Copies of this chain bind each other. A is one copy, B any other.
Amino acid sequence: MDPATERRYVLTLSCPDTTGIVARISAFLAADGGWITEAGYHSDPQTGWFFTRQVVRAASLPYDVAELRRRFAAIADELGGATWTVTDTGVPKRVVLLVSREAHCLHDLLGRVATGELPVRLAAVVGNHDDLGDIVRAHGVPFHHVPFPTGDPAGKAAAFQRVADVVDAGNPDAVVLARFMQILPPELCLRWAGRVLNIHHSFLPSFVGARPYHQAYARGVKLIGATCHYVTPDLDAGPIVEQDVIRVDHGDTAADMVRRGRDIERLVLARGLRWHVEDRVLVHGNKTVVFH
């Protein structure tokens, strides 16, 4: 069997650090012959917190994922204050995309899903304009057009209610703001906490808010960037998952930066989403541990 596509279970756990956690978990897995193919550990000396992610071949264990969850829950209980997950790579993660008119991240993600490079099922795409409906449907993905009125708070709230209905109906593991251009209301940030990824077109914390490339142009920076982060009620201030930059120079206008920045937005969002759906990202406070 191809090791890349073989069914695996992914365990993540974070808890207060103490001696012997690794021994406890690895003994548990070894006891029943669990074959670990990837293992990441991190001890944060500042917060005194411990994080791990383990990947086990499903076929190496004599029980199913439900039984693994039961047994791992008992371990986590012993550790005290632990947060943990157990997922099954045989069950594709579900993703809902929210888009507006800027299509580059959408095209990129559709392509990655079509080629099998990004192992997710696109449950739905919601757009506040209908420009991108055709290409979404051509990829066999349902598209929902939810217009957002301007200068009409009640209408906007109703629109967000419709978005929420579509999202919740899709039961997604990730909601992706793929250049959505609308600020998610605090209640949705909280309802979907830890599941909403945004791509911001600057190297945060520089250039929060609107028109970051124009801000970058005005400041005369020599690199521009993009940031994939979890959305929280605090604008552009949630836990950062991934960032990257590209070089610009004096010859680049703000419009050039907009165009050239798309390359880095695409990449940073695709990486951040991949890591999220592979359960590589553990959030602690306003920071992330990302096990590569």
Residues of A with Cβ closer than 8 Å to B? 2-4, 19-20, 22-24, 26-27, 29-30, 33-39, 41-46, 51, 60, 103-104, 107-108, 110-112, 114-115, 117, 134-135, 138-139, 203-207, 219-223, 225, 239-245, 249-251, 253, 255-256, 259, 262-263, 267, 270, 286-290, 292
- Given contacts A111-B103, A117-B259, A255-B4, is CB(A19)–CB(B42) below 8 Å? no
The complex is assembled from copies of this chain, and their number is 4
Which residues in B have their C-beta under 8 angstroms from that of A41?
36, 39
Which residues in B have their C-beta under 8 angstroms from that of A33?
19
Q: How far is the CB of A287 from chain B (nearest CB, A)?
A: 4
The 8 closest A-B pairs by CB, nearest first: A107-B111, A220-B287, A138-B138, A20-B30, A23-B26, A23-B30, A22-B26, A250-B289
Interface SS of chain A: mixed
The distance in angstroms between the C-alpha atoms of A157 and B28, with both chains bound, is 58
Which residues in B have their C-beta under 8 angstroms from that of A259?
117
The distance in angstroms between the C-alpha atoms of A9 and B250, with both chains bound, is 22
8 new A-B pairs (CB below 8 Å) besides A19-B30, A46-B253, A220-B239?
A42-B251, A103-B115, A107-B111, A110-B111, A114-B135, A219-B286, A250-B288, A250-B290
A117–B37 CB distance below 8 A: no
